């Protein structure tokens, strides 16, 4: 007997948990299931360090937060979404405070805020430099209270921990459930639902060098794409300017917000050469080290071309200098940075320079949704990094993502609660039949790959990652993108013949890696194909063959959709502009 829930949420990260709570609050009678390939508190939201943006002080306004977001996005975001976002972000962060989130405080007990890149005011709320960790655990623990026996009662949130979703079930043009594998047993189960919310996070792992966790393989994007839902603005991949070499571990932007400086190998604050302002002792908002991530990462590439970066075993680096901040401030505000530097780089930022380089960090694009998280496919919703609403446009501002997943997670939850109240119950037999087909497909996949003369999954994955770095990195052009697209097509053919060692059902992580890679190849192709079509440079998408922004043709969202024959089609949708007409992005002036 297949399982049934009113709402199935794929993903137990920040977005998924927030959405689940929103459904439970909106209508306690609904049953909500969270299906997640890792225990919810292991989700990648846990790694977010720096903070979450929302208007806090009296000197700040919603309009200013909105403007910083819009200009940061290079005018590609939807301004109606941004306007709703900035207002609700504050509510959501306060909500989280009421649920117990240990936000860092001022002496008088009010919530403290810090500066962040691209923001004109101090409005980034933080819990030391483990913001995502505290946010995720607060949400998870709060979600625990929404159960039959918990304080808040209701039908409750049911969890499928360590279940991997392999397919969205679509019948009659409507999403009706999912198929998932239970990792511990290998059992394949059809879970029927009235609506599905995808909250599976980003896809940084399609690149070789990323701050993203092992689980960030873009599964949800691939699931939606294969089900026929369009992906939006996939060409916009954010590089974070300061990752540790070798591991790619993130050194949060908060390190620069607290006054950290970027130096080239000669000890020179090179950002001043790239129209990002003039160096000052105290950090200046929207200037120099507090410029936006796309511009800082691009400056690194130029600096490297000039031969002014330092060379290490793990490639070229510049240096982040925190020494002048002093031990006390570092321990109070950046303890995790110190911990990470000590553990993974064997240095102490109190006394030494931290080597850093740009690293793939965040996906601006994702499943195309409206302002309530609804996709064009009936019954399918998305929220969090996997979705593209869009408030991030061509470049996300640091600390906008955590509030985004709260705001739009909550919105999607509410919208779904309304949706399932209105939809008619539909026949489940065809859905179950589809589920059975998928189960058979999975069994076939597992046995088809059981031979020893193919390539290893890991080798194909590595090649895909290198292809993406070479073809669709910080700078791209027609030739590099075309080449990447060809290589990806070839990798797909090779993948079909790849071999697996592990035939067992119990906790078969190789099977999961195989399913993830299959999705990543699709997601990677969408990134490259969308990039190839956008013949301009905007935000994180920098074409050396088209170095300028072209508002006439490309002030529009790209939307890529799978055609029934397996090929794809890229189209453009208008950007919603309410109050801020496109202008020049000015930093440091």
Partner 1 sequence: MSTGNAVGGEPPLYRPPVSLTWWLRNPSYLLFVLRELSCVFIAWFVVYLLMLVYAVSSGRAAYQEFLDLSANPLVVILNVIALAFVVLHAVTWFGLAPKAMVLRLGALRVPPTVILAAHYGAWLVVSAIVAWVILR
Partner 2 sequence: MPETITMEVWRYRPEHESEPTWDAYDVPLRKEWAVLDGLNHIKDQLDGTLSYRWSCRMGICGSCGMTVNGEPKLSCSTFLTDYAPGPVRVEPMRNFPVIRDLVVEMGDFMAKLPAVKPWLVSDDEPDEDTEYLQTPVEMDDYKRYSMCINCMLCYSACPVYALDPDFIGPAAIALAQRYNLDSRDAGAEDRRDVLASAEGVWACTFVGECSVVCPKDVDPAGAIQRYKLTAASKAVKDLLLPRGAR
Which of 35, 168, 374, 417 is close enough to bind ligand FAD by CB under 6 A? Answer: 35
Concatenated DSSP letters of 112-136: PEE--TT-SS--EE-STT-HHHHHH
User: In the numeric block, which tokens belong to residue 376?
Assistant: 């064009």
Catalytic status, residue 137: no
Position 144 contacts partner 2 (CB under 8 A): yes
Instruction: Give the range of 37-45, 146-154, 420-428, 522-530 binding ligand FAD by CB under 6 A.
Output: 37-45
Phi, psi of 477 (to 5 degrees): -150, 175
If we measure between CA atoms, which residue out of 271, 267, 305, 273 comes closest to residue 289?
271
Binding mask 148-177 for partner 1 (x = CB under 8 A): x-x-----xxxxxx-x--------------
Which of 6, 31, 69, 142 is close enough to bind partner 2 by CB under 8 A? Answer: 142
If we measure between CA atoms, which residue out of 143, 141, 182 comes closest to residue 165?
182
Q: From CA 386, how far away is CA 72, in angstroms rounded?
A: 20
If we measure between CA atoms, which residue out of 189, 236, 204, 188 comes closest to residue 74?
236
End-to-end CA distance of the chain: 64
Which of 105, 110, 187, 569 is close enough to bind partner 1 by CB under 8 A? Answer: 187
* Per annotation, catalytic residue among 90, 171, 240, 541: 240
DSSP state of 195: E
Phi, psi of 273 (to 5 degrees): -85, -5
Instruction: Give the range of 43-51, 274-282, 498-506, 569-577 binding ligand FAD by CB under 6 A.
Output: 43-51
Q: How far is the CB of 330 from partner 1 (least distance, A)?
A: 21
8 Å CB contact between 43 and 19? no
* Per annotation, catalytic residue among 114, 256, 557, 585: 256
If we measure between CA atoms, which residue out of 292, 295, 233 comes closest to residue 575?
233
Contact of residue 148 among ligand FAD, partner 2, partner 1, none (CB under 5-8 Å per partner type): partner 1
Q: How far is the CB of 11 from partner 2 (least distance, A)?
A: 13
Locus of tokens 């796309």: 294
Sorted by sequence, the CB contacts under 8 Å of residue 258 that are 6+ apart come out as: 114, 283, 322, 325, 329, 333, 334
Q: Which is nearer to partner 2, 422 or 506 (CB)?
A: 506
DSSP state of 456: B
Dihedral (Cα; 213, 24, 82, 381), 10-degree rounding = 70
Contact of residue 156 among ligand FAD, partner 1, partner 2, none (CB under 5-8 Å per partner type): partner 1
Give counts: helices (H), strands (E), the chain. Answer: 15, 22
Instruction: Give the range of 181-189, 243-251, 266-274, 393-401 binding partner 1 by CB under 8 A.
Output: 181-189
Position 52 contacts ligand FAD (CB under 6 A): yes
Binders of partner 2 among residues 329 to 388 (CB under 8 A) are 336, 339-340, 343-344
Binders of partner 2 among residues 507 to 546 (CB under 8 A) are 507-510
Catalytic status, residue 256: yes
Locus of tokens 């997640």: 36
If we measure between CA atoms, which residue out of 312, 410, 436 comes closest to residue 91?
410
Q: From CA 86, how far away is CA 288, in angstroms rounded?
A: 25
Binding mask 118-147 for ligand FAD (x = CB under 6 A): -------------xx---------------
Position 457 contacts partner 2 (CB under 8 A): yes
Task: Return residues touching partner 1 (CB under 8 A).
Answer: 3, 33-35, 143-144, 146-148, 150, 156-161, 163, 182, 184-185, 187, 505-506
Task: Return residues touching ligand FAD (CB under 6 A).
Answer: 10-16, 35-38, 40, 43-45, 47-52, 131-132, 164-165, 199-202, 211-212, 215-216, 219-220, 250, 252, 361-362, 384-386, 398-402, 405
User: Which residues participate in catalysis according to the annotation?
Assistant: 240, 256
Task: Return residues touching partner 2 (CB under 8 A).
Answer: 38-39, 41-44, 46-47, 91, 94-95, 97-100, 102-111, 130, 133-134, 137, 141-142, 144-145, 147, 149-151, 161, 184, 213-215, 246-247, 249-250, 314, 336, 339-340, 343-344, 456-459, 500-502, 504-510
């Amino acid at each position: 007997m297949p399982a049934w829930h009113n709402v199935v949420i794929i993903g137990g990260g920040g977005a998924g948990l927030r959405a689940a709570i929103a459904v439970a609050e909106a209508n306690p009678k609904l049953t909500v299931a969270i299906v997640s390939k890792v225990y919810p508190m292991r989700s990648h939201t846990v790694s977010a360090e720096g903070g979450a943006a929302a208007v806090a002080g009296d000197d700040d306004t919603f309009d200013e937060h909105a403007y910083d977001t819009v200009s940061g996005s290079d005018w590609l975001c939807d301004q109606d979404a941004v306007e709703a976002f900035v207002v609700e972000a504050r509510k959501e962060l306060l909500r989280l405070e009421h649920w117990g989130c240990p936000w860092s405080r001022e002496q008088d007990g009010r919530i403290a805020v810090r500066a962040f890149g691209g923001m004109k005011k101090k409005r980034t709320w933080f819990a030391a430099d483990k913001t995502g960790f505290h946010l995720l655990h607060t949400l998870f623990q709060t979600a625990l209270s929404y159960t039959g026996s918990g304080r808040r009662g209701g039908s409750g949130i049911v969890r499928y921990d360590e279940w991997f979703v392999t397919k969205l079930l679509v019948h009659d043009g409507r999403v009706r459930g999912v198929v998932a594998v239970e990792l511990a047993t290998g059992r394949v189960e059809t879970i029927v639902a009235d609506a599905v919310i995808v909250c599976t996070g980003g896809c940084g792992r399609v690149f070789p060098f990323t701050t993203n966790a092992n689980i960030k393989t873009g599964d949800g994007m691939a699931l939606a794409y294969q089900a026929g839902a369009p992906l939006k603005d996939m060409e916009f991949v954010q590089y974070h300017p300061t990752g540790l070499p070798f591991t790619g571990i993130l050194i949060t932007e908060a390190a620069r917000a607290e006054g950290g400086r970027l130096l080239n190998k000669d000890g020179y604050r090179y950002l001043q050469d790239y129209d990002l302002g003039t160096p000052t002792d105290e950090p200046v908002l929207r200037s120099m080290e507090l410029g936006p991530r796309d511009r800082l990462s691009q400056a690194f590439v130029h600096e490297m071309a000039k031969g002014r970066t330092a060379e290490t075993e793990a490639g070229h680096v510049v240096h982040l200098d925190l020494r002048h901040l002093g031990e006390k401030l570092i321990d109070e505000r950046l303890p995790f940075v110190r911990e990470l530097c000590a553990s993974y780089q064997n240095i102490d930022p109190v006394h030494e320079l931290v080597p850093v380089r740009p690293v793939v960090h965040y996906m601006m694009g994702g499943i195309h949704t409206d302002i309530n998280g609804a996709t064009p496919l009936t019954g399918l919703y998305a929220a969090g990094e996997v979705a593209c609403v869009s408030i991030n446009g061509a470049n996300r501002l640091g600390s906008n993502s955590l509030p985004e997943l709260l705001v739009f997670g909550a919105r999607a939850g509410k919208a779904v609660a309304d949706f399932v109240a209105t939809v008619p119950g539909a026949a489940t037999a065809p859905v179950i039949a589809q589920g059975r087909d998928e189960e058979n497909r999975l069994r076939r996949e597992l046995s088809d790959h059981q031979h020893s003369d193919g390539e290893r999954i890991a080798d194909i994955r590595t090649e895909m990652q290198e292809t993406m770095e070479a073809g669709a990195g910080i700078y791209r052009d027609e030739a590099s993108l075309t080449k990447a697209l060809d290589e990806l097509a070839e990798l797909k053919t090779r993948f079909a013949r790849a071999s697996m060692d592990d035939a067992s059902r119990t906790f078969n992580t190789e099977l999961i890696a195989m399913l993830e890679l299959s999705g990543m190849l699709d997601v990677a192709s969408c990134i490259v194909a969308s990039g190839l079509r956008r013949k301009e440079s905007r935000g994180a998408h920098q074409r050396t063959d088209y170095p300028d922004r072209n508002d006439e043709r490309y002030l529009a969202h790209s939307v890529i959709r799978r055609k029934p024959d397996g090929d794809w089609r890229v189209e453009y949708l208008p950007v919603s502009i309410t109050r801020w007409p496109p202008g020049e992005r000015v930093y440091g002036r």
